Amino acid sequence: MKRKLKLTITKIYRQTMITPTIFRAACPVCRCEVQTLTPREAARILQIDEMAFDRLVADGYVHAALTVGGYPRVCKNSLLR
């Protein structure tokens, strides 16, 4: 059985660097400024592999957006629910 997948790609136009590894940006789902992570960092926090993490993003359990440069960033708030 084929499964339909709806994927919305949102771009982050402004992000603030707090330290060289910590960034803040507006999450399009939470509609507020949040700390963002790379997908690898987020998968490590959840202790799952990156493929399992990609499924969580595709299913909408985790918020993710692309920077203007094309790099994915993950909303840290959505990991802590």
Q: Which residues bind Zn ion (CB under 5 A)?
A: 27, 29-30, 63, 75, 77-78
- Least CB distance from residue 1 to Zn ion, whole Å? 31
> Which residue's CB is nearer to Zn ion, number 33 or number 50?
33
- Least CB distance from residue 64 to Zn ion, whole Å? 9
How crowded is residue 22: how many other Cβ atoms within 10 Å of its Cβ? 12
> Which residue's CB is nearer to Zn ion, number 67 or number 77?
77
Pair of tokens at residue 44: 């490590």
Nearest to 65 by CA among 44, 38, 43: 38
- Least CB distance from residue 2 to Zn ion, whole Å? 29
Contact 28, 63 (CB under 8 A): yes
